[in-house]
Structure 1
Amino acid sequence: MFQKDELVVYPAQGVGVVERIEEQEIGGAKAEFYIVRILSNNVTLMVPVLNAENVGLRHVCSKEKAESIIDSLKDRSDFTGYSGQNWNRRYREYSENLKSGDLADVAYVLKELLLIGKDKELSFGEHRLLEQAMGLLTLELAHALDKEQDEVRAQIEELFSDVLEPQKEE
């Protein structure tokens, strides 16, 4: 399914490169593993080839999908506003979305937290989730769009400039 030197995405970890495919014996049984190095933190993962799809290992999204994700960030019609929902419930929901491996779920978490941050100061945990979502999203979009990660981050920050910059008094 994946080849050596191919870029892949591992849920909640982000973009990595398949460094090699090797066979190892574990518990008396031989199995093939993808050895994936995550680009953002140099962590190396061993992913069983036969279980790769089940754990959510996938290709980097297409350029069209990346552009669609950016368009979804522009659309705020689905944001209902900070409802005072229990933080623990929101945290669990957002964490599950980040672990899903679905780029649209990651974009949803980023958008929600950026917009909630307009109404109230984000807690430490919320800020950490926001940074995780931003990192996962910008790195994959950068590879899909053949841009630098900082450039994609700046593009997203520009989309949310009204909530990221302090409102000026006139």
Structure 2
Amino acid sequence: MNTGVSDNSEPEPTRPGVAASIWALEHAQDFVSVAVGVVLIVLAATLAVSGVVSFAGDVQKHSVATAAINLLDRVLLVLILVEIVHTVVLSLRAHRLAAQPFIVVGLVAVIRRILFLLSNENIIPTSELALLIGMVVAFVAAYLAVSYFEKPDPEDGSVPARGPGKKNSPDTVGPSGG
């Protein structure tokens, strides 16, 4: 019975039509990823510039503290967009998704929400603030866990994962050897 899995580690030859389709789809995926990255960079730059312009106007109309909070909100949004672009770049390089950038985006988004709640002059909902603080702890724990157990990526020179039974050796550490 043929299960479609070969006994050896060699991949089975692909039919020319299927290979061409795979090639076209991979290049289309890369094109879309690059286009998304460019749009996100333009959006991040626009938000950064408009944040600085708004900051100058807010300083004149409101207090410096209010202007700073509004600018910080914009800067954190730009940071989220830059982390998403970083994820797109990693995806283009390795054709796989990394967990850490998504965790960072979630963490920054939660911190943005906390800052928004704290900057609001209304009564702060204690239950929402407690939930958000719990989410920060969960995101930090997830980031540490992924950093601890994730396999090294030789393409981007990342430091190897540390985990049970794993030891650092000079040939597994990034391009500089340590």
User: Under a length normalisation based on structure 1, what TM-score does the superposition of the two structures give?
Assistant: 0.24
- Structure (1 or 2) with the greater strand fraction: 1
- Of the two, which has the highest radius of gyration? 2
- Structure (1 or 2) with the greater helix fraction: 2
